[in-house]
Amino acid sequence: MPLVDLDITADPNELQENIIDFLNEADTRIDEFVARRLDTPVPGFHPSDFPLVYQVLRKLRSLGVAPGERFCEWGSGFGVIASLAALLGFESYGIEIEENLVTAAERLAADYEIPVTFVRGSFIPDQCDLAIHSWEDFSWLVSSGTSGYDELDLDPDDFDIIFAYPWPGEEQVIEQIFEECSATGAVLLSYHGCEEIRVRRKRAPRAH
């Protein structure tokens, strides 16, 4: 079931003051967290371009591209993107394997009274485990342990938009998980660095 690219660019309108304030605070907390963990960095933790992702997500919202309102951030870190999705009116969730990051995300969202849910666990569904066993170089892709979906009491195909920030070489893994486990019509929003964002939809399989 190949993914179809959607030609959607960032909303050019300026960011609202409350969004700017939230992003400034998020940047400050992330910088402090990274400074404290210089000797023990979290594998794979690298923030995306929050303003750019927000502007694309805002455009998606205005166009009604997604089939529904439920959003999930895979590997949510400080939960900034999931929080921004909630501020746009999505029913928003974040799944993160690192306990300290889940705690930090919950505190940030609570301080701004943002209605978003974060859980500690793997965003890789159990049914996709076999698909990634050969990708041993990606230590931050954890498929063992608690399932984030079990914690949420939701399944991967319950979400209408998924956001992910795959590292170089990891793109195919994320795409494979999304293709295998998401619902038909669901949207994958992914950030690839250097201001590159892709928006793709999972289409129904062709009839034989």
Distances (CA, A) of 147 to 1, 46, 86, 119, 157: 24, 22, 22, 9, 14
The pLDDT tens digits for 85-110 are 999 999 999 999 999 999 999 999 99
Q: Please, which residues have CB within 8 angstroms of residue 197's CB and are 6 or more apart in sequence?
A: 10, 52, 53, 56, 189, 190, 191
Class of domain 3-202: alpha beta
Beta strands per DSSP E along 9-125: 70-74, 91-96, 116-120
Phi, psi angles (nearest 5°) of residue 18:
-65, -30
Question: What mean pLDDT, rounded, does the chain reach?
Answer: 88
How deeply is 199 buried, as exposed, middle or buried, from its count of CB atoms within 10 A (0-12, 13-18, 19+)?
Answer: buried
Single-letter amino acid code for the residue at 157: D
Give exposure, 88-106, as e/b (b: 16+ Cβ within 10 Å).
Answer: bebbbbbbbbbeebbebbb
From residue 159, alpha-carbon distances to 6, 76, 78 in Å are 18, 15, 20
Whether residue 66 has pLDDT greater than 90? yes
pLDDT digits (tens, 9 = 90+) for 67-86: 999 999 999 999 999 999 99
With contact defined as beta carbons under 8 Å apart, do 196 and 52 qualify?
A: no
- Residue 145: both structure tokens together: 């342990």
Reference 49, options 163, 137, 135; nearest CA is: 163
Q: What's the pLDDT at 41?
A: 74
Indicate the pLDDT class of residue 145, thresholds 50, 70 and 90.
low
pLDDT tens digits along 154-201: 999 999 999 999 877 788 889 989 999 999 999 999 999 887 899 999
pTM of the model: 0.90
| pLDDT tens figures, 22-64 | 999 999 999 999 998 777 777 767 889 999 999 999 999 999 9
